[in-house]
Structure 1
């Protein structure tokens, strides 16, 4: 059996990666699991002020360990903060492939963020907005996320970032060029430091932060599916391991 652990982002929930998880669940013999990180989930952002980044790390470690017991191979998909958690797990646990979606090694793209805020203002004045901007979602999160939780997020990025250089499994990095929260340099940084022999980066020209729900969601899902089901990549990785 193939296991696929999908990890959502800061202040988010499994909905953020649900389109990917749903598609991969159709694969015969695949077990796909998307846990809810402590303090997260719909309607519970206030609970984040009572949670530390260590609890997020522990939750993902437990999920990875349990899936590894049940599966012959384990793939990780991490979105935003979940990408940093996924890279940490891939560096420390037996993992076979890694997918990073708008992974937050760096955060806040000021130029695009300002554009999105102008879009929010325009929306409130005219009722018009682009379909994938999810402005209301961004605004609600900014209003309700406790500062203590933001501090924990920053600590998590700081603590997990060094582990990216220890990742050696095949890795696919996908980044939305119009992401207002995670800048493009984050993807290029991860591509440069990840130690995998097999790694690739895909930039989605029309995608913002919620990359699994935007204009190019179908393309993102197809890229992930192709990468994870490519048996040639797995054979090359197995040969590299056996030769060392």
Structure 2
């Protein structure tokens, strides 16, 4: 049986957001892994004319193509990509879902404020340019039109009413220091998704870009175990 994995990045992001996990899976499997760049995203943000439907259709196209080439598909979605992953699970046959920092709720002001304080402190000590958070968000603030942010929020609202219709195995991973998505979002989704098989993993040190957390070597194997559980059972038959 040939396995495929569709990985979907977040709002204003790109495939790099999932790269550490992709590399982990590539090192431990022979799975076919696809990480498309959603319209308007990537190294150069061009978000003025894109819509929620644009992003969903692009993900659908990538999924349909992958399904033609493999026997079963897992979908891994990060942040907004997690919401798109839920949408895909409503419409297509997917074996399992992994939702990383899924943006069912967004902007956790307490942690975001702490991150801003860290930026301010480093600005005073002359190390601001070394702060990866500053580099990331200063570029995004310059290049993200209000229209695109509205489309992102509209996407979340479009999908949220259907959480209860998800019944395939789901693994949720959430960083407790996420400054964008509150860490309470994962248990909220856990409670509202109807799947009988559900797993919830917390990253104690993880911020929003969870695949770059200091403890990813702890939760990568847990997530991998979730994905291969049925394959191992089938292999013993």
TM-score range, shorter chain: over 0.9
* Residue in structure 2 matched with residue 54 of structure 1 by the alignment: 53
Does the Cα contact within 8 Å between 1:132 and 1:213 map onto a contact in 2? no
Structure 1 unpaired stretches of 5+? 236-244
Does the Cα contact within 8 Å between 2:90 and 2:166 map onto a contact in 1? yes
1:161-207 CA-to-partner distances (Å, cap 9, x unmatched) read 22222111111000000000000121111101111100011111111
Aligned partners of 1:98, 1:17: CA distance in 2, in Å? 15
* Residue in structure 2 matched with residue 34 of structure 1 by the alignment: 35
Count of residues in Structure 1 that have an aligned counterpart in Structure 2 = 232
- The structural deviation recorded for 1:223 is 2.0
Give yes or no for the alignment of 1:9 onto 2:7: no
- The structural deviation recorded for 1:232 is 6.5
- TM-score, normalization: structure 2? 0.92
- The structural deviation recorded for 1:127 is 4.0
Does the Cα contact within 8 Å between 1:113 and 1:181 map onto a contact in 2? yes
- TM-score, normalization: structure 1? 0.89
Does the Cα contact within 8 Å between 1:39 and 1:48 map onto a contact in 2? yes
Aligned partners of 1:49, 1:233: CA distance in 2, in Å? 46
Aligned partners of 1:227, 1:23: CA distance in 2, in Å? 14
Root mean square deviation of aligned Cα = 1.8
Structure 2 unpaired stretches of 5+? none
- The structural deviation recorded for 1:134 is 2.8
- The structural deviation recorded for 1:154 is 0.7
- The structural deviation recorded for 1:81 is 0.2
**Map 1:197-212 → 2, pairs under 5 A:** 197-212=196-211
1:16-58 CA-to-partner distances (Å, cap 9, x unmatched) read 001111221234441000000000000x22x101111101000
Does the Cα contact within 8 Å between 1:116 and 1:135 map onto a contact in 2? no
Aligned partners of 2:109, 2:101: CA distance in 1, in Å? 15
Does the Cα contact within 8 Å between 2:75 and 2:97 map onto a contact in 1? yes
Change (3 A) 1:73 1:234: farther
Q: Which secondary structure state, in structure 2, belongs to the residue aligned with residue 76 of structure 1?
A: strand
